Copies of this chain bind each other. A is one copy, B any other.
């Protein structure tokens, strides 16, 4: 089964917004075995929409449209659909009642424009939109299908998830299975080299999806036999996991910050941080996890050397002789923050984020990270990039990766 996507709206064509809807739709369609043959974005004009419908009807079995369903007069999608499917517009009392209820709750007055939204092509089956006013519309013509949805992302996602994807999954004969292996602290090419020998034996598609300090490996397979497809993916996951086990922190939607948080909770340990070059980003990653107050106590961001000595107790001798970006400094930062915040574990980072502050001996991108408790401190030097923001993010991810490895050994 093949799908064609049409997004309608001038705001896409002038570059005011990035169209994230279509990649969301494409990846969710892929999961139920529906391939996207083309994506088209056109403005709010009847001619362009109709021309798009012609092209997509020829190429695909199902057309998914978003946008152009709002109450303002420049939204002409509905008119284009009524013309295209030679269907008169009828007033939908159900839709009117639903919109009225929403507006009463929000204390908004219904206008004529809102009433206009309730006229829908008679041939359309209404698909409920619990997230907004404009409903989805499902129309069949010559054995092919079309679904029109609002362009607001969370409304589109609701209609797709509850109205469209289940319908299409029931029609599709293809089975798609995927599993994503999530790694941290190792690069894409290093992983590729390690797993290359086993890949030839695995009958799956593999995609490397790298982000800063992390790589996701997506293994997928399409076929007609669900049991077979699943066992092929499972076997590949098992083979690859065996080889790169120390670098894997989770699967699918797991995140590194959730994973280390879970490890701390399970081991009943508390955490503090002492940050210099990351300037709060490490703490932000940790505290972006709901429930992080269960293990995370706080941080000292020692952006100046004065704070490193006065608040964290890094010795003046260390700062003078080794410098703020040194192994001894990050080790003393761990000791200092453990004493101050009284947690079981602490992480510290100090580095040169850039663009200024680099030297021949310690160029921009040089970072020291330490992780430790009262008995043992592990420290490591890194050389990241020349870019300030990327260095900050690399440092935070590698610090969490070092914490992960430290906790495994505890």
**CB neighbours of A197 from chain B (8 A):** none
**CB neighbours of A209 from chain B (8 A):** 16
**CB neighbours of A30 from chain B (8 A):** 14-15
Q: Does A89 contact B (CB under 8 A)?
A: no
A15/B19 in contact, CB under 8 A:
no
- For chain A, the count of residues having a C-beta within 8 Å of the partner chain is 71
CA distance A184 to B326 in the complex (A): 39
A279/B283 in contact, CB under 8 A:
yes
Within 331-348 of A, Cβ neighbours of B (below 8 Å) are at 340-342
Within 360-408 of A, Cβ neighbours of B (below 8 Å) are at 388-389, 392
Contact of A18 among B20, B302, B354 (CB under 8 A): B20
Within 277-318 of A, Cβ neighbours of B (below 8 Å) are at 278-284, 286-288, 290-293, 296-304, 306-307, 311
Q: How many copies does the complex hold?
A: 2
Residue picked from A280, A293, A341, most chain B C-beta under 10 Å: A280
B40/A40 in contact, CB under 8 A:
yes
Which chain B residue has the least Cβ–Cβ distance from A39?
B41
B288/A279 in contact, CB under 8 A:
yes
Q: Does A262 contact B (CB under 8 A)?
A: no
Given known contacts A298-B311, A303-B298, is B15 in contact with A388 (CB within 8 Å)?
no
Within 47-77 of A, Cβ neighbours of B (below 8 Å) are at 48, 51-52, 55, 59
A264 → B minimal CB distance (Å): 13
B298/A302 in contact, CB under 8 A:
yes
Minimum-distance CB pairs A-B, first 3: A279-B287, A280-B283, A15-B27
User: Apart from A39-B42, A293-B304, A311-B341, what are 19 other A-B pairs with CB-CB below 8 Å?
Assistant: A12-B26, A14-B27, A15-B22, A18-B19, A18-B20, A19-B23, A22-B41, A38-B43, A38-B48, A278-B284, A280-B280, A280-B287, A280-B301, A281-B284, A283-B301, A290-B355, A298-B307, A299-B299, A301-B301
Residue ranges of A at the interface with B (Cβ–Cβ < 8 Å) = 12-20, 22-30, 35-43, 48, 51-52, 55, 59, 207, 209, 273, 275, 278-284, 286-288, 290-293, 296-304, 306-307, 311, 340-342, 354-356, 388-389, 392
